[in-house]
Copies of this chain bind each other. A is one copy, B any other.
Amino acid sequence: MNILLHGSGNVATHLALAIHKTGHQIVQVYSRTKASAAALGNRLGVPYTHLVDEIMQDADLYIYAVSDDALESLVSLNIAPQAMHVHTAGSVAMDIFKGYKKHYGVLYPLQSLSKDKTVDFQQVPLLLEASDEVVKQALDVLAKEISGQVHHYNTEQRLKIHLAAVFANNFVNHLFHIASDIMESSDIDFNLLKPLIKETIEKISHLSPAEAQTGPAKRNDQKIMKQHMEMLKDQPKLQNLYRELSQMILEQYLHQS
């Protein structure tokens, strides 16, 4: 397939690199700013543009790996309405294409992608949705050339998965950030926590998160929880977070026991 890629951010870059390894051709990169279009275009060695008028009309598949705001305005442009169009967003309904394009779908990589960090796309679950059988089959073929984990979900399911992913990734990372701040406030190396963090993940490969829970809140150890709250007294937001998470854990295990 001839693929036109909208976007030059984290998802666009990693996806482009993964597609580049298949037999499919990226025929053009479009990005809103000249510099970023050039950066990704040159990296891939393919034509690029930042001008809407220059977007090629004859690609087979248009992939939109852009911010949600940019997505809405791009989709409504009168570009190749008969071709296939897919976005890569976890939280945008497939129907955003409805009325503008004939064949459309979603190709959502369920992974946290940063420009600075390479990723093995073979290990990235790709969640697909398609408006019709033509798109479904074309996407499935493409996706399976990129990743070993291809799944079909509807918009509602994908939205739920994305919400769960925010808890399991973005919020978890923020808790690491908090832990690292606490350590650094006493000049203690955050690396000291790495074996514990590794084990936290290791555990849920054998046990459900419910079974893997440990700690003062699970044990209803009021004395330690009070002590921790006292230690956080100058950081009311952290104190609040500590109280709420402990309360949630406490209630979970009181109900179960």
Contacts and interface: CB of A to CB of B under 8 A. Distances in A.
Instruction: Tell me the number of copies of this protein.
Output: 2
Contact of A201 (B123, B125, B183, B197): B197
Nearest to A89: B224
Contacts of A203: 112, 114, 117, 173
A196 B183 CA distance: 25
A218 interface: yes
Main secondary structure of the interface of A (DSSP, over half): helix
Contacts of A172: 172, 175-176, 197, 200
Chain A's interface size range is 35 or more
Contacts of A214: 10, 112-114, 169-170, 173
B171 A175 contact: yes
B252 A212 contact: no
A153 to B, nearest CB: 7
Interface string A1-28: 0000000001000000000000000000
Interface string A234-245: 000100111011
Interface stretch (A42-50, A56-64, A99-107, A187-195): A187-195
A78 interface: no
A249 B232 CA distance: 18
A241 B240 CA distance: 10
